[in-house]
Amino acid sequence: MNPNNAKKHLCPHCGKFIKSGGGIPVPFFILVLLLCAGFFLWTSGKHSQANVSGQPSAIGKLYRGVPDYITSPEADKSCGVCLASANSFLASKKQATIREKTKDMAGLPAGEYQIGSPDGLGDADEHPRHLVHLDAFYIDKYEVTTADYMKFTKDNYANYPEWAMPEGKFNIDTGKNTYYRHLSAILKTCTNCPIVGVTAQSAEAYCKSKNRRLPTEAEWEAAARGGADSAFSFGETAAMAGDYAWYETTSEEKPHPVGTKKPNKYGIYDMYGNVWEWISDIYSKDYYSESTKINPKGPTAGRGNIIRGGSWASDANSMRSGNRASTFKPNDDIGFRCAVSESALLDEGATSPVAVEIASN
């Protein structure tokens, strides 16, 4: 075909009118391909350097796949070497990777989030109210269940909850301490109830086994608020708490299967009530006055780990989005859920932060 007679049409990727049928000179094609390959390999190398595990990152693999795509049968030939088409291919693969790894999670976009309580509400450690910037992250829609956690302990022969510790004093069958026995039937039969009786370190170990981690206090509060600026995600008062939470008024003094109350606007269940949730941050009552503005991770020293959200044994005030509490011991109403940064989802070698050491008496 004579290149001068080639017809023009609109490229669906570039948005430019190009000639079809004329083809691209082979030397030029090869040059562009080599330049593209070099650029994407260099970019993926930058991502790989950030991967502390030394493993190739998923996003790096996607970048390296772009030159292959350009010359593959799947590529849109209407543009020849069309970088817009390649970028579209890369973006779709990236989103597919994220979707696959977050099927049971809710995503919060990067941005500013209000943390803490307004003047006149809450305890002193909830002040001052302040804005923080959080990178995009995902958090479990449901609290970790007894079934999922006990499978983890069976696979690892470690990190047992107190009530199932072999030969432990709190073991509900053989232990001398009867603390957990009032929940014996629930613990043995309600596999979809939230796990209780685990330490913060064991909770972190479970999350790490899933390539996740415990949420930071700021992440948890941002997720709990569900985009609202009120005391609860559903309003300023606890009038509607029964629709969203298992707490002292509705629980009949026991935990319940996860996800059986209404979710908040982010699609997250049981952020209030059912069980308190372990947070990765160490507790300091004055931390809000010295908190970093970007991705705060708590103080370097303090006493015990933060717990949030209240439980089946709590009053409504304890469940407020801004309420802070802490402990260094497991309990019959403390469980957890996991989180992960979006950036870590694209890094196959990513691991969770090392579990914090809980202060003891």
Domain boundaries, the chain: 3-101, 105-345
The per-residue pLDDT for range 302-350, each reduced to its tens digit, is 889 999 999 999 999 999 999 999 999 999 999 999 999 999 998 754 3
What confidence score (pLDDT) does residue 78 get? 55
Query: Which residues on adjacent β-strands are paired with residue 335?
Result: 277
Are 195 and 255 within 8 A, CB to CB? no
pLDDT digits (tens, 9 = 90+) for 90-110: 778 888 889 999 999 999 999
Q: Per the structure block, which two tokens stand in for 222?
A: 């941002």
On whether the CB atoms of residues 57 and 348 are closer than 8 A, the answer is yes
Q: Euclidean distance between the first and final Cα of the chain, in Å?
A: 85
- Does the model's pTM come out above 0.85? no
> Quick check: 334 and 278 in contact, CB under 8 A?
yes
* Measured CA distances, 293 to 116, 223, 296, 298, 352 (Å): 13, 17, 6, 11, 22
Q: Select the more confidently predicted residue: 286 or 35.
A: 286
Within 13 Å and on the Cβ side, how many CA atoms surround 79? Answer: 19
Dig out the tokens for 228 from the structure: 């609202």
* pLDDT tens per residue across span 174-216: 999 999 999 999 999 999 999 999 999 999 999 999 999 999 9
CATH tag, 105-345: 3.90.1580.10
The tens digit of pLDDT for each residue in 120-163 reads 999 999 999 999 999 999 999 999 999 999 999 999 999 999 99
Residue 207 is predicted with a pLDDT of 98
In this predicted structure, the answer to whether residue 246 has a pLDDT above a threshold of 70 is yes
Stretch among 22-31, 249-258, 273-282 having the lowest mean pLDDT: 22-31
